[in-house]
Amino acid sequence: MDINKKLHLVSLGCNKNLIDSEVMLGRLKSYALTDNANEADVLIVNTCGFIGAAKEESLRTIFSLHEQRKKDSLLVVSGCLSERYKEQLIKELPEVDIFTGVGDYDHIDSIVEERKNRFSHETYLINSEERVITGSNIHAYIKLSEGCNQQCSFCAIPSFKGRLKSREIESIVKEVEKLTKQGVWDFSFISQDSSSYMRDKNINDGLILLIEAIEKIEGMKSARILYLYPTTTSDALILRIIASSVFHNYFDMPVQHIDDNMLKRMKRGANAKRIKEQLSLMRSAADSFVRTSFIVGHPKESAEEFENLLKFTKEFEFDRVNIFAYSDEEGTAAFDMDGKITKKVLNERIKKLEKAVHEGMLKRLKAQINTKAVLVIEGESSEHDLLLGARKLECIGEIDGEILINESEISGLKTGDMVEALITDIAGDKLVAAVTKFI
Ligand code: SF4
């Protein structure tokens, strides 16, 4: 490492983008990482281009780094925003020295060397490249595939990430084996559409094959799968996850809506009856954790269709829900639809849904008081420096909520420790726990 050469990287958007950023860090290992943009020789923004709010955040970050950068530094913009709007951005953002998209993360070192824009046609999919795991010593995200074959009316991702391309199971197993040797023992398997894993190779339920391969890896303690898609999530897969000794009863399946007319309009392929069957099968698992996401305000969403969604969130209590306001994305089927919902109505609906979802989540949390749980210590809590923060072993701290540790029968707790605890109370929408022993 040449400590005289400094790199500042900002990774925006989703955890899939984070993996690509970690690959870039692996390729640029000769640079010393710095948190100070004003001392960096190379500044990289790995952007998100999914919806309006994310695009605005990407542009704000580019301009902010440009303002902070030192003379003769190099400002590089990569990722989904750059891929989706390459021509426009190259024309309109002279501040940026190099643009690259979603196809060249494993060539970032030569791109920086040559100081030239680069947009390969193929979407990059990690294989055995070295990456720098960020954020934790014990947990890592693992990418299953890139691209997506679904045709959701509101989503532009297939237009710039391309069609589904699955990694070979051997490639994933090799990466996980390598990481377990580095002390990582908790893994989250992700993609745009995880339950379609291997369908581009004419294999249905590829995830079941993957689960069997991952369970055999020495040092493997804990894992979960995110981004299940309703039409490709079979009962066999749900039951295989439930039967697994390594994969938690953690079910992340974005359903986006529950009204059949809306699901049809959104081109989701699944209907309410099937989704409810899947959710109740997931809920049949002990200690199941079920998370989803909803889109509110899609074109033509009637008051009655929205009421159906609202009613549903009172019937089925989710542990976690992401609520998205519909974003009018050019190049999507919904963009050309009439019957756009006004901002006023959209905000009213979001408020109502947030309230209903929050009530359901609180019920789920309160039901855990006076129960024992296996937790992972995550360090100082976000609430108070005298409190430790933790997560349930099956969950991901940054997206599934923090647990506050206010008592402990044992001393010397440190980040990454796995402990048994008693859930004693709830503070706002955070559980409070007392640690009883190490595991
Ligand atoms: S599953 Fe739908 S929402 Fe998700 S990336 Fe594919 S098209 Fe977009």
* DSSP-assigned beta bridge partners for residue 46: 11, 78
* Coil, helix or strand at residue 88: helix
- The pair of structure tokens assigned to 267 is 């081109």
Give how far Cα 187 sits from Cα of 12, 177, 246, Å.
Answer: 21, 11, 10
pTM: predicted TM-score of the whole model, two decimal places: 0.96
Rounded to whole angstroms, the Cα distance separating 26 from 3 reads 16
- What residues have CB less than 8 Å from 413, skipping those under 6 apart? 377, 388, 405, 419, 435
152 CA → ligand 1 middle, Å: 6
> Could you give the residue ranges of the DSSP H alpha helices within 256-323?
260-265, 272-283, 303-315
H-run or E-run covering 353: helix 343-366
- Determine the atom of ligand 1 nearest the C-alpha atom of 256: 3
Nearest CA to ligand 1 atom 8: 155
d(CA 439, CA 417): 8
192 C-beta closer than 6 A to ligand 1: yes
With a 6 A CB cut-off, is 54 part of the ligand 1 pocket? no
Q: Is ligand 1 within 6 A of the CB of residue 150? A: yes
Give the pairing type, strands 403-408 and 430-438: parallel
DSSP character at residue 100: B
157 touches ligand 1 (CB under 6 Å)? yes
CA 153 – ligand 1 centroid, Å: 9
Q: Using alpha carbons, select from 401, 399, 374, 373 the residue that is nearest to residue 389.
A: 401
Q: How would you write the pLDDT of the chain (439 residues) with one tens digit per residue? A: 676 899 999 999 999 999 999 999 999 999 999 999 999 999 999 999 999 999 999 999 999 999 999 999 999 999 999 999 999 999 999 999 999 999 999 999 999 999 999 999 888 888 878 899 999 999 999 999 999 999 999 999 999 999 999 999 999 999 999 999 999 999 999 999 999 999 999 999 999 999 999 999 998 999 999 999 999 999 999 999 999 999 999 999 999 999 999 999 999 999 999 999 999 999 999 899 999 999 999 999 999 999 999 999 999 999 999 999 999 999 999 999 999 999 999 999 999 999 999 999 999 999 999 999 999 999 999 998 889 999 999 999 999 999 999 888 888 999 999 999 999 999 999 999 999 999 9
Q: In sequence order, which residues have a C-beta less than 8 Å from that of residue 135 and are 6 or more positions away?
A: 18, 398
3-state SS, residue 364: helix
Domain ranges (residues) in the chain: 6-114, 139-366, 372-438
158 lines ligand 1 (CB under 6 A): yes
Strand, coil or helix: what is 292? strand
The answer to whether 49 and 59 are in contact (CB under 8 A) is no
Would the CB of 196 count as within 6 Å of ligand 1?
A: no
Q: How many CA atoms lie within 13 A of 346 on its CB side?
A: 18
pLDDT of 1 reads 67
Q: Cα–Cα distance between 278 and 254 in angstroms, integer?
A: 12
Asked whether the domain spanning 139-366 has the same topology as the one spanning 6-114, the reply is no
What Rg do the C-alpha atoms of the chain give, in angstroms? Answer: 22
Measured CA to CA, the distance from residue 301 to residue 353 in angstroms comes to: 14
Residue pair 252/226 in contact (Cβ under 8 Å)? The answer is: yes
**Which amino acid does the sequence have at 347?**
N
Distance 148 CA to ligand 1 centre (A): 6
Which pLDDT score is estimated for 127? 86
Q: How many residues does the chain have?
A: 439
DSSP letter for 118, please: B
Which residue in this structure is represented by tokens 């859930």?
Answer: 423
Q: How many Cβ atoms from other residues are within 10 Å of residue 56's Cβ?
A: 11
Whether 147 contacts 192, CB under 8 Å: yes
DSSP designation for 107: G
Q: Which fold has domain 139-366?
A: pyruvate-formate lyase- activating enzyme (3.80.30)
Kindly provide the b/e burial profile for residues 67-100, where b requires at least 16 CB atoms within 10 angstroms of the residue's own CB.
eebeeebbbbbbbbbbbbbbeebeeebeebbbbb
Distance of CA 149 to the CA centre of its chain: 19
Shortest-distance Cα residue to atom 4 of ligand 1: 192
Here the tokens at position 99 are 């643009």
- Residue carrying the six token digits 């109740």: 280
Q: How far apart are CA 193 and CA 405, in angstroms?
A: 35
* Phi, psi for residue 422 in degrees, rounded to 5: -105, 125
Residue 228: CB within 6 Å of ligand 1?
Answer: no
CATH architecture of 6-114: 3-Layer(aba) Sandwich (3.40)
CA of 249 to the centre of ligand 1 (A): 23
Q: Which atom of ligand 1 is the closest one to the Cα of 156?
A: 8
Amino acid at 42: V
Ligand 1: centre distance to CA 44 (Å): 26
- What CATH code would you report for 372-438? 2.40.50.140
Rounded Cα gap, residues 290 and 250, in angstroms: 6
Which residue's entry shows tokens 């440009």?
Answer: 66
Q: Which atom of ligand 1 is nearest to the CA of 158?
A: 7
Contact 275, 316 (CB under 8 A): no
Asked if 11 contacts 18 with a C-beta cutoff of 8 angstroms, the reply is yes
Angle at CA of residue 186, ends 183 and 188, nearest 5°: 135
Distance (angstroms) between ligand 1 centre and the Cα of 30 equals: 36
